[in-house]
């Protein structure tokens, strides 16, 4: 059974720091991995999606990497801002024939001015 | 594109009442998902449809929960009778299975409170 874990569970940093959020999964047979952001009381916003054949994806100040063989992904946030404060979730899908997501436990990030 | 649309955004009801949550997926998407989120259990997949057919309903907690997708642009999640432990935020999401990267897009959620 696929299990997805995120460390740390919570993180509080001053503005301007570069951050790394971690996601690990127990079964390396994944099709893709998706990072989401969730603001308090809101829905999930897709940030980045990495196909199993890819090593990384970038969007603005965000960079997500994937090491499938070791069951790990990291989300790198450069020059963090207070507006980055949210909960970050990673999720994996198992195969091309299903888009059922298995979610991680989330990292709650607070960036203070 | 308007994104995934859910209604109502908030629902407060009394125990024993029937609750119906509604979802309109993104036009052209062929998969639809219902999730529940609570502080204790995080995000849980309840059921998902592909081409309007339920594929996996193993996450539906009890017979009190039912979901339908009568056409490609509409789905409902019904709870009858509702109980206080059903209080949660219910999300609907959609994606295009087999037509790209299977990226899921979420609606804003319905916050359900059962008194």
Whether pLDDT at B20 is above 90:
yes
Whether pLDDT at B42 is above 90:
no
**pLDDT-based confidence at residue B100 (cuts at 50, 70, 90):** low
Q: Which of B91, B102, B109 has the CB atom closest to A32's CB atom? A: B102
How far is the C-alpha of B52 from the C-alpha of B68, rounded, in Å? 8
Q: Over pLDDT 70: what percentage of chain B?
A: 94
Whether pLDDT at B99 is above 60:
no
**pLDDT-based confidence at residue B24 (cuts at 50, 70, 90):** very high
Q: Over pLDDT 70: what percentage of chain A?
A: 96
Question: pLDDT tens digits, residue range A20-71?
Answer: 999 999 988 888 899 999 998 888 999 999 988 889 999 999 999 999 999 9
Q: What is the pLDDT of residue B104?
A: 86
Whether pLDDT at B70 is above 70:
yes
Q: Does A88 touch chain B (CB under 8 A)?
A: no
Q: What is the pLDDT of residue B56?
A: 87
The answer to whether the CB atoms of B42 and A103 lie below 8 A apart is yes
By the 8 A CB rule, do B42 and A90 touch?
no
Whether pLDDT at A99 is above 70:
no
Q: How many CB pairs under 8 A join A and B?
A: 51
Mean pLDDT of the A71-81 span: 96
H or E element, residue B78? strand B74-79
How far is the C-alpha of B8 from the C-alpha of B112, rounded, in Å? 9
Q: What is the pLDDT of residue A63?
A: 97
Please tell me what DSSP assigns to residue B101: S
How far is the C-alpha of A44 from the C-alpha of B3, rounded, in Å? 12
How far is the C-alpha of B56 from the C-alpha of B14, rounded, in Å? 29
Q: What is the pLDDT of residue A65?
A: 96
Q: Which of B42, B43, B48 has the CB atom closest to A100's CB atom? A: B48
Give the SS3 label for residue B70.
Answer: strand
The answer to whether the CB atoms of A42 and B108 lie below 8 A apart is yes
Q: What is the 3-state secondary structure (H, E, C) of chain A?
A: CCCEEEECCEEEEECCCCEEEEEEECCCCCCEEEEEEECCCCCEEEEEEEECCCCEEEECCEEEEEECCCCEEEEEECCCCHHHCEEEEEEEEEECCEEEEEECCCEEEEEEC
Q: Which of A38-47, A95-104, B24-33, B46-55 has the lowest mean pLDDT?
A: A95-104
> In a 10 Å sphere around its CB, with 0-12 CB exposed, 13-18 middle and 19+ buried, how is residue A60 labelled?
exposed
- For residues B76 and A53, the model is more confident at B76
Whether pLDDT at B97 is above 90:
no
Q: Does B95 touch chain A (CB under 8 A)?
A: yes
**pLDDT-based confidence at residue B66 (cuts at 50, 70, 90):** very high
* Chain B residues touching residue A107 (CB < 8 angstroms): none
Residue B7 CB-half CA count within 13 A = 3
How far is the C-alpha of B60 from the C-alpha of B67, rounded, in Å? 9
* Chain A residues touching residue B33 (CB < 8 angstroms): 100-101
Question: How many helical (H) and strand (E) elements, i.e. helices and strands, does chain B have?
Answer: 0, 11
Q: Which of B105, B107, B111 has the CB atom closest to A46's CB atom? A: B105
Q: What is the pLDDT of residue A35?
A: 96
Optimal mutation site among A99, A104, A105, A106, interface B, most CBs of chain B within 10 A: A99
Whether pLDDT at A113 is above 90:
yes
Q: Is the dihedral of CA B34, B37, B42, B46 positive or negative?
A: negative
């Amino acid at each position: 059974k696929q299990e997805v874990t995120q460390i740390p569970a919570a993180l509080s940093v001053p503005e301007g720091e570069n951050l790394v959020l971690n996601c690990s999964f127990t079964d390396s047979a994944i099709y893709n991995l998706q990072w989401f952001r969730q603001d308090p009381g809101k829905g999930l916003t897709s940030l980045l999606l990495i196909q199993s054949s890819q090593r990384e994806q970038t969007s603005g100040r965000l960079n997500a990497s994937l090491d499938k063989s070791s069951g790990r992904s990291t989300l790198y946030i450069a020059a963090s801002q207070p507006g980055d404060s949210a909960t970050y979730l990673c999720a994996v899908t198992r195969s091309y024939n299903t888009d059922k997501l298995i979610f991680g436990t989330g990292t709650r990030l607070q960036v203070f001015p | 594109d308007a994104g995934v649309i859910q209604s109502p955004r908030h629902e407060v009801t009394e125990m024993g009442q029937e609750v119906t949550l509604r979802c309109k997926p993104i036009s052209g998407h062929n998969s639809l998902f219902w999730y529940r989120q609570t502080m204790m259990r995080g995000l849980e997949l309840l059921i998902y449809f592909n081409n309007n057919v339920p594929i996996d309903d193993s996450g539906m907690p009890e017979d009190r929960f039912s979901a339908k997708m009568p056409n490609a642009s509409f789905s409902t999640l019904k709870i009858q009778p509702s109980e206080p432990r059903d209080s949660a935020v219910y999300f609907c999401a959609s994606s295009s299975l087999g037509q790209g990267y299977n990226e899921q897009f979420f609606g804003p959620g319905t916050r359900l409170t059962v008194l």
